[in-house]
A and B are shown apart, each in its own frame.
Chain A
Amino acid sequence: MKRIVQRILWTLTLIGGLPLAVQAEEFFKIDPTHTYPHFAISHLGFSTLYGRFNQTSGSFMIDWERGTGSVDVKIAAVSIDTGFKKRDDHLRSPDFLNVMEFPEIRYRSTRVTLNGKESAVIEGELTLHGVTKPVTIHVDHIHCGTNPINNKYTCGFNGRAKIKRSDFGITYALPAVGDEMDLWFEVEGQRE
């Protein structure tokens, strides 16, 4: 009798624990209207140009229990926007992004390490201009909760990284136009 009670208790524990295990992994679809990949690059050493990409898609997953997750972000290279059409056309040309030939910029994580609830380190591979290189994103802000406007459970994070454009074969106007670029990813996603 005692054995039967023990088995029932184990079974109940397992069944009860299952939703908890499922809930530990949360999947989010990136909200393109509230996701902002930004970049900054030196112009001849005189000023710093800030720009952004206006079309982003993808998904991310957070596993709070294991302190890990995954990220897959796609950026339409043609959506580059620096607030000046002529410069944007130039950045889209073969001199820089060559968007006709390489229309997609993609970042896929290979390892995510959560440091508590508010920061993380994302190791992954960035594909830019047809070249794939490892890039680490340092996340310094994570916030999750119910969006009071649409009542959807939402998570957002801010990450930053540094790359050298020459590593990706974008070498035009070096060293006049800076080689090192700062990248920021302000990402927001809704739970699926």
Chain B
Amino acid sequence: MSHPAVQAAVLPFVVAGAWSWVVVRRWVTWAGLAAILGFVVTVWQVADFSLTPFTSTRKLIWAVLVGAAVGLACDLLCPPRRLIHNLWWVLAGGAALWMVWPVVQYRGGWPGVVVGAGALLFTALLVALGGLLRSKPVRVEVAAWVLPLGAGAVCLLGASALLGQLGLALGFAGLALWLVGRRWPLHAPAVWILPGILGGALMAYAGSVYAQVPVFALLLLGCVLPVLWIPRPERWSESWEPAYRVALAALPVALAVVWTAFTQGPPPL
């Protein structure tokens, strides 16, 4: 249990897989909780839920948890609407600004503005794109696990094992849920989509501000959602759709990982 790979990959994958497998047949909405449960187990293993000192990493963890709570409320109380999705990206931008606020204050002036505006734009844009894609569940579900997985991988290479483990946990838990969803469609539950994309975006940006994730790798990760708009070739049948979307989303992630590994070297474990 103390091995980083078990904490960041095996544990969240097993917990999320088991929960979704048991729950999905009766309560599809609640199956979406699997990803956040896998993430919580990893937080419990590698960090904690305390509030002091209220560091950027702890803000990030709480932003993901609050994102899951907002998502669950959306699933239970209201159907997917544009107004709700607009609220998502506003909240996401606020969460990103809140996370980097000490750095904005410390740097001051234009350097501070660049960090704050970058966090706000990067996170709000990705979450807004996630909201727009919600009408296409296969695409947005892929983004909800590929983005945090990629963010975790680049953070790990960019000298923050903690951010790396948190990102990988959210990604692997989402992957388990996505695999279960191949048999019992989940219809892109907000309780998974919102924290998945929000968490991935926050982790990637935190990696570039607080660790050594190159800006170019961050920009590549920012392409994970836009590339999902590329239409599937007509000669490919519908059954290839999930694999095609995974391949599309994985391409910028792979480039980001290769670029980070090339510039930063092996992880610091």
Give chain A's interface residues, CB within 8 Å of chain B. 86-87, 89-90, 92-95, 98, 100-101, 103, 129-131, 169, 171-173, 176
- Selecting from B26-34, B49-57, B62-70, the interface stretch reads B49-57
User: Given the complex, which residues of B lie within 8 Å of A101, measured CB to CB?
Assistant: 55-56, 102-103, 106, 210
B113 interface contact, C-beta 8 A: no
- Selecting from B12-20, B85-93, B135-143, B157-165, the interface stretch reads B157-165
User: Given the complex, which residues of A lie within 8 Å of B57, measured CB to CB?
Assistant: 94, 98
Given contacts A94-B160, A172-B161, A176-B2, contact A130 B55 (CB under 8 A): yes
Q: Are B47 and A93 within 8 A (Cβ)?
A: no
Q: A90-B268, A94-B162, A94-B163 are in contact. List 12 more A-B contacts (CB 8 A).
A: A89-B264, A92-B159, A93-B160, A93-B210, A94-B160, A95-B163, A98-B57, A100-B209, A101-B102, A101-B103, A169-B53, A171-B47
Given contacts A100-B103, A172-B46, contact A90 B161 (CB under 8 A): yes
User: Given the complex, which residues of B lie within 8 Å of A92, measured CB to CB?
Assistant: 159
Total A-B residue contacts, Cβ distance less than 8 Å: 70
B197 interface contact, C-beta 8 A: no
The count of residues in chain B whose C-beta lies closer than 8 Å to any C-beta of chain A is: 27
- 18 A-B interface contacts by CB (under 8 A): A87-B268, A89-B159, A89-B211, A90-B161, A93-B159, A93-B210, A94-B56, A94-B206, A94-B210, A98-B57, A100-B209, A101-B106, A101-B210, A103-B106, A169-B50, A169-B52, A169-B53, A176-B2
User: Given the complex, which residues of B lie within 8 Å of A95, measured CB to CB?
Assistant: 160-163
Residue in chain B with minimal CB distance to A168? B53
Bound complex: CA A94 to CA B166 (Å): 12
User: Given the complex, which residues of A lie within 8 Å of B268, measured CB to CB?
Assistant: 86-87, 89-90
Interface centre among A94, A101, A103, A169 (most CB of B within 10 A): A94
Bound complex: CA A37 to CA B118 (Å): 36
Bound complex: CA A90 to CA B157 (Å): 10
Bound complex: CA A95 to CA B55 (Å): 11
Bound complex: CA A130 to CA B106 (Å): 13
Q: Mark B232-269, 1 if CB is under 8 A from A, else 0.
A: 00000000000000000000000000000000111010
Tell me which residues from 147 to 195 in chain B have a Cβ below 8 Å from any Cβ of chain A: 159-163
Instruction: Give the distance to chain A from B19, nearest Cβ to Cβ, in Å.
Output: 27
